[in-house]
Structure 1
Amino acid sequence: MTANQLKPRSIMDGNAPNRSTGIVNGKSSNVLNWDDVRYSWAYPKYKTMLSNFWTPFEINMGNDIKQFQQLSEAEQNAFLKIIGLLALLDSIQSDYAGKVADYLTDSSLNALMIMLAQQEVIHNHSYSYVLSSLVSQQQQKEVFDYWRTEPTLRKRNDFVTNGYQAFAEEPSVEHFAQSIVYDVILEGLFFYSGFAFIYNLARNQKMVSTSTMINYINRDEQIHVGLFEKIYKELLHEHPEINSAAHHDFTVAAFREGAELEIAWGREIIGDQFDGITMDELTQYIQYMANKRCNQLGHGRNVFPDAPVKNPLRWIVAYQEVDQGKTDFFEQKSRQYTKTSDDNGFDDL
């Protein structure tokens, strides 16, 4: 095995310390003691993910059931295709998190990956929960198969799955770092035109229950991006040989291609056919997010040099931010939220 290849984590190593010696290819007994872990940020992340636990059953879909029938045909089609897309992306994430967990030497980070995968399963359940409330079982099956027949959707999904494939087939430090770039594109960029559409419906007091559920998912995805940002930076710090100009160029190019694919999807699914959100605004928003995510990984904001430096969809922040003691949209239900902070991933979205 070369120094760049990844070694699977041992189930138990009696000759290794409990506290890991590295993020990958290190030594660890695999015994988890939260008071003796290598990375100080791991336990706060664990507490945040634990406190944010939720299930789809908490959301009453009664009003959405009535409102869905009142949506225009274009709104219904966009809504269903977006739900189908989100279901596919979160299915991919569950599997990816499991593969990452296999190679993280540190037992605390392995635990976080298991929690992340469980949250993705809940996200997928939520899409089934929404669809089963609104459409027939046959139509639900059709929605979950949109990715097979929509060329634009298939192209953007292949972009990520092909990016993950190199890590799955040839696990190395370099492929792991590249796969995290694809992960951040998926969780921190590919969801965002769909989220914007759902939030814009809620802005017009339509499908508010679904928007509440998307808000929970959005919050989780923000935390996931923050977690992978930490792992990525630790990986590059402990393996500086992969932190090269070539890797920087790869990262910037990947974010540019990912954003262009998301813009193409937004143009197809949203365009300029809905009040409250224009394609020009959505394009600027996606470019802004691409710069933001690339910079979050330490590679600067040069994916789109002419993109806005501030969020061009300022109204969307009200739908993505939650705070302690707030009620859900339009007083739908009371819920005690975890206070938002840098630790749980919310920022100037």
Structure 2
Amino acid sequence: MRYPQFFDMYKDAIKNTWTVDEIDFSDDLVDLDRKLMPAEKHLVSRLVAFFATGDSIVANNLVLNLYQHINAPEARMYLSRQLYEEALHVQFYLTLLDNYIPDMAEREAAFAAVENIPSIKAKAEFCFRWMDSVHHLDQITTQDERRRFVMNLICFATCIEGLFFFAAFAYVYFLRSKGLLNGLADGTNWVFRDESCHMNFALEVVETIRKEEPELFDAQMESDIRAMMRDAVDCEHMFAADVLGEGVPGMSLKDTREYLQYVADTRLHLLGYASEFGSKNPFSFMELQDVQGLSNFFERTVSSYQTGITGDVSFDEDF
């Protein structure tokens, strides 16, 4: 086995098995009907619209681009498991739609968000731009093609899964900090864990490529990555302006921009680069997520997971 670290990641992923049927949305329905303000309902509506299509885009890139060119057998074992988890996430979001949006016309509008909601359309176009950069490649042979593939992988690890989805999780955990939509928060805890593992796997692949082909990682690539990260932050800030557009008490657009820049900097650090923005985390409820969310995650393992988690628990995950 040439890359045992990928096989270890595959085995760890198997231990994290969960099912959507375990999530209880009954309290959420009461919150939606009686407790959420109109501005918070708008926030939830936009989140659901993004979730309805976001993980399908990720799964498409996984199948059409990444699996084809990451050909180490042990790495493909992990990618196969990741595809299962992406399908599980899609099921979670579909169940969310069933519970939150019983009206079929509203549900169809949520599925069409990439066409009729500009802030979500912009994020989808960002994703498609990077998918299309390597989609037509049957084989990767030249250095330019290898560079484009690495950029696609970095984009999906750090910008799409690592920024777009983690920004969405922040809205969920903000509502949880107010005692709202605990069913959504419970499901998000599990998705949060999966997405962290997906990002770590992709970054391990990037690091493996860096060791084997260091000439790809020149000054131009760093410049391109920083430009890509700035573009992703701008894209997500546009979505934040939409999500918070009706005025959500306790969550300002200024603080959200600061948070997005902070997350972008943490992704750059994982790639071995210095900060681009120098921002700090303004959301105390996300600082607690490392401990509270993961401790709850492990407390529920015995009753909620099909396969228990063994080994040491780490509370220093990057979010």
What TM-score do the two structures reach when normalised by structure 2?
0.88
Question: Does the aligned pair in 1 maintain the 2:173–2:285 contact within 8 Å?
Answer: no
**Which consecutive unaligned segments of at least 5 residues does structure 2 have?**
none
Answering whether residue 125 of structure 2 is matched by residue 149 of structure 1, we say no
CA distance, structure 1, for counterparts of residue 20 and residue 94 of structure 2: 9
Q: Once the 2 structures are TM-superposed, how far is the Cα of residue 187 of structure 1 from its aligned partner?
A: 0.3
Q: Please name the residue that 2:175 is paired with.
A: 201
Q: CA deviation at 1:111?
A: 1.0
Aligned-partner Cα distance in 1 for 2:19–2:185 = 14
Give per-residue Cα distances to partners, 1:56-85, cap 9 Å, x unaligned: 111011111222112222222221211221
Amino acid at match of 2:294: V
5 Å-filtered alignment, 1:84-103, equals 84-98=49-63, 99-103=65-69
CA distance in 2, matches of 1:282, 1:233: 30
Change (3 A) 1:342 1:175: farther
- What is the deviation of 1:346? 6.0
Question: 1:43 corresponds to which letter in structure 2?
Answer: F
Correspondence 1:66 to 2:30: yes
> In terms of Rg, which structure is larger?
1
**SS of residue matched to 1:300:** coil
For 2:279, what is the secondary structure of its paired residue? coil
- 1:216-261 Cα offsets, whole Å, 9 max, x none, are 1111111111000000111122122311111111011101111121
The answer on whether the counterparts of 2:130 and 2:155 sit within 8 Å (CA) in structure 1 is yes
Amino acid in structure 2 at the alignment position of 1:164:
M
| Structure 1 vs Structure 2 CA RMSD | 2.3
Within 2, Cα distance between the matches of 1:292 and 1:272? 29
Cα distance in 1 between the residues matched to 2:128 and 2:253 = 27
Partner of 1:314: 284
Residues 1:270 and 1:347: Cα distance change in structure 2 (over 3 Å): same
2:90 equivalent to 1:124: yes
Paired AA for residue 51 in structure 2: L
1:297 to 234, 248, 271: 271
Letter in 2 for 1:101: Y
Q: Distance in 2 between matches of 1:325 and 1:174?
A: 39
Amino acid paired to 2:284: R
Identity %: 20
Distance across 1 between alignment mates of 2:190 and 2:212 = 33
Tell me the residue number matched to 1:111: 77
Amino acid at match of 1:249: S
Name which of 142, 150, 159 aligns with 1:177: 150
Higher helix share: 2
Q: Which residue of 2 aligns with 1:54?
A: 18
Aligned partners of 2:162 and 2:267 also within 8 Å: yes
Shift of 1:348: 4.0
Count residues in correspondence: 304
Q: Distance in 1 between matches of 2:101 and 2:237?
A: 28
Task: For residue 153 of structure 1, give the secondary structure of its aligned residue in structure 2.
Answer: helix
Alignment-mate amino acid for residue 261 of structure 2: Q
Structure 1 window deviating more from structure 2 (273-282 vs 106-115): it is: 273-282
Residue number in structure 2 paired with 1:222? 196
Conserved? CA contact 1:189–1:286, under 8 Å: yes
Q: Which TM-score applies when normalising by structure 1?
A: 0.81
Unaligned stretches of 5+ in structure 1? 1-36
* Greater length-normalized contact order (CA 8 Å, ≥ 6 residues apart): 2
Contact 2:7 / 2:77 at 8 angstroms: preserved in 1?
A: no
